[in-house]
Amino acid sequence: MTPDFERYPTEPGVVAARSAGRWVDVEWVDGRSGRFHHVWLRDNCPCLCCVHDITKEQTFELISEPADNPARSVTVSTDGHLDVEWTVGGHRSRYHAGWLRAHCYDGSARVRHDAARSTWDASTPGMPPTFDGPAVMSDDDELLEWLVALRTFGITRLRDVPLDLDAVGRVAGRIGIVRETNFGVLWDVRSEPDPVTNANTALALPPHVDLATREYQPGLQFLHCIENEVPGGRGMYLDGFRVAEILRQEHPHHFEILTRVPWQWANRSKVSDYRWASTPIVLDRHGAVAEVRVGNWLRAPLDVDFDDVEPAYDAFRALFELTYRADLAVPISFRPGDLLAFDNRRVLHGREAFTDTTGTRFLRGCYGERDELHSRIRILERARR
Amino acid sequence: MTPDFERYPTEPGVVAARSAGRWVDVEWVDGRSGRFHHVWLRDNCPCLCCVHDITKEQTFELISEPADNPARSVTVSTDGHLDVEWTVGGHRSRYHAGWLRAHCYDGSARVRHDAARSTWDASTPGMPPTFDGPAVMSDDDELLEWLVALRTFGITRLRDVPLDLDAVGRVAGRIGIVRETNFGVLWDVRSEPDPVTNANTALALPPHVDLATREYQPGLQFLHCIENEVPGGRGMYLDGFRVAEILRQEHPHHFEILTRVPWQWANRSKVSDYRWASTPIVLDRHGAVAEVRVGNWLRAPLDVDFDDVEPAYDAFRALFELTYRADLAVPISFRPGDLLAFDNRRVLHGREAFTDTTGTRFLRGCYGERDELHSRIRILERARR
């Protein structure tokens, strides 16, 4: 009776419903009410003719009926659901009271699905939120707690993750698909004699996101410390959303430039040549910061209108300067068994230079996607209902 | 002497250069000229102090020098390159004449990097562009020709691809990384008793892109026909960019709605729950159509402002109606060994229903990304220079 795999409460039931021209007024037992357009209701009919019984995917095709197909009758069933009969074709639809309520889009009754998000800086206590690796691997409640923190703060740490080379892939697999890139499925960060990237030197790395050079920057990054015996190499982590918001407050002109003028990004490799153009800050349709794209050495020669060049440089300089502010960056040192998981389109990470002559610093990492995280959270929450 | 792995022609050399306040005027032997800002030049110094010798990634950090560091001297070397000495710090930079020219961003001298793109419909001859599978697999010149066609038209066909189960992965691997999803690395399209998606029934499928439910719809899709003995199942392919442009011309109001009001997308599965909100048509910053997101049964219940509901439905209906217009859709029937490769954020594909009681229709597919395609083309072109 519902067109998906969720369960919805049957209470409160629908107590009254009537057609009001182009929509249906629905009232639930507890007094809440909402309007649903006829066209919306017809499209969302959950019956077995309109939704495939096994896949739960729609088989009714929107354009198979005329645009104007108003309800001929609107009634409430004895068990509190909404019944509609359609004028053209005479199709009958029943809408579950709880499903209707969960999908109400009308004014104050509208259900908001946005997940909480908390920005942070060096003054935020308890960063990064830290969880027990073995517990997360074995217990779905611990897993859910970890993932909700990751969604909320964009960064988390697991402790005591086993030191084998596959562990980071197993941890990422608790969420979903690992994203393979030109670096491989799992990749190593350590000083190498013939590095393909500055990450694989002992150099300091300015704060950045990984693969800013790709159309789709990975949404998640996992870094697992297997060995760390070197002087230096301390990590610096920043909430790019907080950085962007501070820029918006303190330098609105620079902020505007960074959301309007695209920067060019490019990798440099013998076997691949990824390039992309995107603004360093991307806003969602509500004006909130949705994504940052930052990385000093990942920038290609700027290729924008002549008059935009100096403003673009001034704006990026202001952003880079913020990333070195001590009140914003959270220093994080790795010890073996630590695993950092973070939103790679939100969190900037950098490191101080280290000395690679007296010991080894060896991290192993992989990438994932944000919507794998969100999917896993929904599935874990579904299992609890 | 250049900060990447490309080769640039040394002719024509630079013949004159002088600082003009905040930029340098550069003139080449053939009379062409361009302006380069001081800040841009300093940032792009290719010397071994500023760019890592092996990785070719920048080690100079933009904010390590003051914003205002004008050129102290600007000269032309005896072999026609540009030499600059900087005021603060006295750093010296040499810019290769051909590299400079390739990266000129100034007015009429600006080098455009946009690849050609041709839209098509049912009247376009020779669709889809067809290539020999074995030749593409063994010969890099054939490979390049195929990939340029794929970039230009967004759809191509290979013939005579071997009928084994790994072939589609090998073909996609000629481009780059195969993108794993909840359907797996390689996945099958055939009628199944317990389908996870309507694609795995014998039902007709309205024109759609795959995984419209994901934040990042795959940029490339590969479909390889291994068996096809059924009545029906003919494929219908549309250039979503052409469809969108026709909508823009014929129904500008609907077009505007489809680029402004987000639709909700959702999959329905027992083990994953991907959801995303995005406008069905996405424009780039120049107003050109960059992406379409269409699929009747992948739509979740619309969740937008009450007053946007009916306009959003009217607009989507207009778009859906276009996808059934006989002058737009190209019918393509699969024969075993055919492999279609197409841009999954541009090309809509659908199929007619088929009869699954008398034979088998078996396709095997996988996904990739657009920027893997563009990278491979650049690397193949680099090898030719």
Whether residue B313 contacts residue A40, with contact meaning beta carbons closer than 8 Å, is answered with yes
Long-range contact pairs involving B27-31 (C-beta distance under 8 Å, separation at least 24): B28/B97, B28/B101, B29/B80
* B203 residue type, one letter: L
Sign of CA dihedral A275, A278, A281, A287: negative
Reported ipTM: the value is 0.94
Q: Per-residue pLDDT for A268 more than 90? A: no
In terms of Cβ atoms closer than 10 Å to its own Cβ (0-12, 13-18, 19+), residue A97 is: buried
Choose among B348, B277, B260: nearest CA to B311: B260
For residue B93, what pLDDT is reported?
98
Surface of A (148-167) touching B: CB under 8 A: none
Domain B14-109 is in which class?
A: alpha beta
**Residue length of chain A:** 385
Distances from the Cα of A222 to the Cα of A182, A187, A257, A338, A340, angstroms: 16, 10, 31, 10, 6
Model pLDDT for residues A46-101, shown as the tens digit of each residue: 999 999 999 999 999 999 999 999 999 999 999 999 999 999 999 999 999 999 99
Q: Which chain B residues contact residue A5 at CB under 8 A?
A: 268-270, 273
Yes or no, beta carbons of A275 and B374 under 8 Å apart: yes
N-term to C-term CA, chain B: 18
Give the DSSP per-residue string, B210-262.
TTTTSSS--SEEEEEEEEE-SSB--EEEEEHHHHHHHHHHH-HHHHHHHHHSP
B 258-287 residues with CB below 8 A of A?
262, 266, 268-276, 285
d(CA B301, CA B304): 10
For the stretch A340-349, pLDDT in tens is 999 999 999 9
Would an 8 Å CB–CB cutoff place B185 in contact with chain A? no
Predicted local confidence at residue A385, as pLDDT: 82
Please give the backbone phi and psi of residue B358, each rounded to the nearest 5 degrees, phi first.
Answer: -110, -5
CB-hemisphere CA count at 13 Å for A42? 28
Which residue in A42, A56, A110 has the most chain B C-beta atoms within 10 A of its own C-beta, making it the best mutation to test that interface?
A56
How far apart are the CA of B88 and the nearest CA of chain A, in angstroms?
17
Min distance B197 CA to chain A CA atoms (Å): 5
With contact defined as beta carbons under 8 Å apart, do B363 and B189 qualify? yes
Check whether A112 has a pLDDT greater than 80: no
Nearest CA in chain B to A181: B177
Query: What does the pLDDT look like over A114-127, one tens digit per residue?
Result: 778 999 999 999 99
Q: Model confidence over B251-271: pLDDT tens digits? A: 999 999 999 999 999 987 899
Is B308 strand, coil or helix? helix
Q: Give the dihedral sign, CA A194/A199/A205/A211.
A: positive
Q: Which top CATH class is B130-383? A: alpha beta
B351–chain A nearest CA distance, Å = 14
Distances in whole angstroms, Cα of residue A238 to Cα of each of A119, A242, A325, A334? 10, 8, 10, 16
Residue A107 CA from chain centroid, whole number: 26
What does pLDDT average to in each consecutive run of 10 residues of chain B (385 residues)?
A: 90 96 96 96 96 92 93 97 96 97 89 85 97 98 98 98 98 97 95 89 94 96 96 95 98 98 92 95 94 95 96 97 95 97 98 91 96 96 89
CB pairs < 8 Å spanning A and B: 219
Is the distance from CB of B175 to CB of B368 less than 8 angstroms? yes
Mark yes or no for CB contact A58/B320 under 8 Å.
no
The pLDDT, as a whole number, for residue A166 is 98
| Residue ranges covered by each domain of chain A | 14-109, 130-383
E strands within B30-142? 33-37, 71-76, 82-86, 92-95, 130-132
Helix (H, G, I), strand (E, B) or coil at A265: strand
Beta carbons of B63 and A320 less than 8 Å apart: yes
Residues in chain B: 385
The whole-number pLDDT of residue A234 equals 93
Q: Which two tokens stand for residue A60?
A: 């009714």
Rounded to whole angstroms, the Cα distance separating A353 from A235 reads: 10
When scoring B69, B105, B279, B319 by the number of chain A Cβ atoms within 10 A, the one with the most, hence best to mutate, is B105
pLDDT at position A43, please? 97
User: pLDDT category, A285, cuts 50, 70, 90?
Assistant: confident
Structure tokens of A321?
């300067």
Q: What is the pLDDT of residue A328?
A: 97
Task: Name the residue among B94, B14, B10, B11 with its Cα closest to residue B51.
Answer: B94
Asked if residue B162 has a cis previous peptide bond (ω within 30° of 0), the answer is no
pTM: 0.95
Q: What element of type H or E holds B15?
A: strand B14-20
Q: Is the pLDDT of residue A137 over 90?
A: yes
At B96, list the tokens: 């290769």
Radius of gyration of chain B (CA): 26
Q: What is the mean pLDDT of residues A344-372?
A: 95
- DSSP assigned state of B107: G
**Mind listing the pLDDT tens digit for each residue in A153-192?**
999 999 999 999 999 999 999 999 999 999 999 999 999 9
Strand ranges in A106-210 using DSSP code E only, listed in sequence order: 130-132, 155-159, 187-189, 205-208
- What is the arithmetic mean of pLDDT over A287-294? 96
Indicate if the pLDDT at residue A109 is higher than 80. Answer: no
Nearest to A233 by CA among A367, A349, A366, A365: A349
For residue B197, what is the nearest residue in chain A, using CA coordinates? A55
Mention every residue, 6+ apart, whose C-beta is less than 8 A from residue B72: B85, B86, B87, B90
Count the Cβ atoms, other than its own, within 10 Å of residue A342: 23
Subunit contact B57:A309, Cβ cutoff 8 A: no
CA distance B126 to chain A (A): 30
Nearest CA in chain A to B181: A177
